[in-house]
Amino acid sequence: LNTDAWKTLIYQTRCYLRHQAEIYGDEIFVKEAGALDSPRESNNASVLDLYKKQIQNCQKCSLAHHRRHFVFGAGNPEARLILIGEAPGEEEDRVGEPFVGKAGQLLDRILAAIDFERDEVFIANILKCRPPQNRDPMEEEIRQCMPHLLGQIEIIRPRIILTLGRVAAQGLLATSESLTRLRGREHCFHNIPMLVTYHPAALLRNPEWKRHTWEDVKQLRYMYDDLIGDKPKWQPPRM
């Protein structure tokens, strides 16, 4: 194994053990040898496209009745970093793409601040259909839709997850802890290191949270360099 592969293995092992400890306490159960597999090369684009065709007519919850578009997600099918938000809003439902409009533009600027282009990452939501009047997703809707997201993660196999907003963080971590308490520390989701930050739409309403988001994405970028290192090492701009 080279240095990067070792780092990945260490992160995944730490993530796996923490996840196991949360479930089983001090006892360790290793279910299968593949649990700590190293990353593989693959042709994710065609598999992801096929997967989209399989699920895009989903009728599992009542949100299917009101949607204009099923919003699968967008971005690089080979992305090392996946961003996960809450659910499509009005614009996303109209266009069929995640994070369009002002929140999407702000997300692009946040990514640019840590030297990422949108097409380097994959962006998805925990719900693929818009809740009426942009209300919060219901627990049951998240439960019904989660297999779609898990399928995407299984295909893309990202090395880091960043959740955007309280609903995504709480949904993935199955917790009711506040976003304030979840930010600033490393979590893991299905053995993948995960960080948490605010949703760009919330930042538009609460600009004072932008400085916290800056701390979160700096942590993300340092983790990316440490764990993956396929981009020039990042330095925060001098203020």
Contact residue for ligand SF4 among 127, 153, 201, 223 (CB under 6 A): 127
Told to check if 128 binds ligand SF4 by CB under 6 A, we report yes
Contact status: 58 vs ligand SF4 (CB under 6 A) = yes
Q: How many residues bind ligand SF4 (CB under 6 A)?
A: 14
Which of 214, 236, 7 has the alpha carbon at shortest distance from 106?
Answer: 214
- Name the token pair of 223: 């983790």
Distance from C-alpha of 183 to C-alpha of 216, rounded to nearest angstrom:
7
Residue from the set 145, 161, 201, 228 that interacts with ligand SF4 by CB under 6 A:
145
By CB under 6 A, tell whether 143 contacts ligand SF4: no
**DSSP letter (8 states) at residue 221:** H
Q: Which one, 134 or 180, has the nearer CB to ligand SF4?
A: 134
Q: Closest separation between CB of residue 221 and ligand SF4, Å?
A: 31
Q: Which one, 58 or 114, has the nearer CB to ligand SF4?
A: 58
State the minimum distance, in angstroms, from the CB of residue 127 to ligand SF4: 5
Listing DSSP states for 126-182 in one string gives: S-SSPPGGGPPPPHHHHHHHHHHHHHHHHHH--SEEEEESHHHHHHHHT----HHHH
Q: CA–CA distance from 125 to each of 3, 154, 162 (Å)?
A: 33, 15, 11
**Residue 199 · residue 126 · CB < 8 Å:** no
Q: CB-based burial of residue 102 (10 Å sphere; 0-12 exposed, 13-18 middle, 19+ buried)?
A: exposed
Does 167 bind ligand SF4 (CB under 6 A)? Our answer is: no
Closer by beta carbon to ligand SF4, 84 or else 228: 84
Q: Does 126 bind ligand SF4 (CB under 6 A)?
A: no
Query: What residues line the site for ligand SF4 (CB under 6 A)?
Result: 58-61, 63-64, 70, 127-129, 141, 144-145, 148
